[in-house]
Amino acid sequence: MLPTHTIDRMLASVPPELQEIVLELRNLVVEVAPGATERTHSKGFSYYFAERGGTVNAGICQIVIFSDHIRLAFNLGVFLPDPKGLLTGTTKAKRYICIYSYEDADWDYYKQLMTASAAFDIYAQPGG
């Protein structure tokens, strides 16, 4: 995972209530995928297994920071079990959840999605 000063720099202009969401999501990633690689991008963070590939083929999730919410995105989210139907998206495979409040977030469900995403292997799928 990235050093604390890098995280602090990325979150410096983010409102405290959204910082809280980002930090909790990061904690969940560490819990479900302690060997994941964390990378910053222009709007947040990406998590993936470097030994299996890059951010798409071996991606776990992305945390994308917007001015009024945090988006928890899954590049291959179309393949994830989503019994609550919370994942949305208009691209071929990417799906996401918008989180507006820490208190209203479904943390256990997000952890389940991250766990499923961390275990998903596109190459083990038919045609993968």
Closest-CA residue to 64 (of 82, 77, 46, 90): 46
R_g over Cα of the chain: 14
Locate the DSSP E strands across the chain.
37-41, 44-48, 59-65, 70-74, 95-99
Is 128 among the domain residues? no
Is 127 among the domain residues? no
What mean pLDDT value characterizes the chain?
Answer: 92
Which DSSP string corresponds to 86-102?
Answer: --B-SSSS-EEEEE--T
Is 60 among the domain residues? yes
pLDDT, tens digit, 9 for 90 and up, residues 48-71: 998 877 777 789 999 999 999 999
**pLDDT at res. 125:** 61
Do the Cβ atoms of 10 and 40 come closer than 8 Å?
Answer: yes
**pLDDT at res. 62:** 97
Is 126 among the domain residues? no
φ, ψ (nearest 5 deg) of residue 17: -65, -30
23: CATH: 3.90.1150
Is 103 among the domain residues? yes
Lowest-pLDDT range of 24-33, 43-52, 92-101, 117-126: 117-126
Query: How sure is the predictor about 92, in pLDDT bands with cuts at 50, 70 and 90?
Result: confident
Could you list the residue range(s) of the whole structural domain that residue 98 is in?
Answer: 4-121
Number of domains in the chain: 1
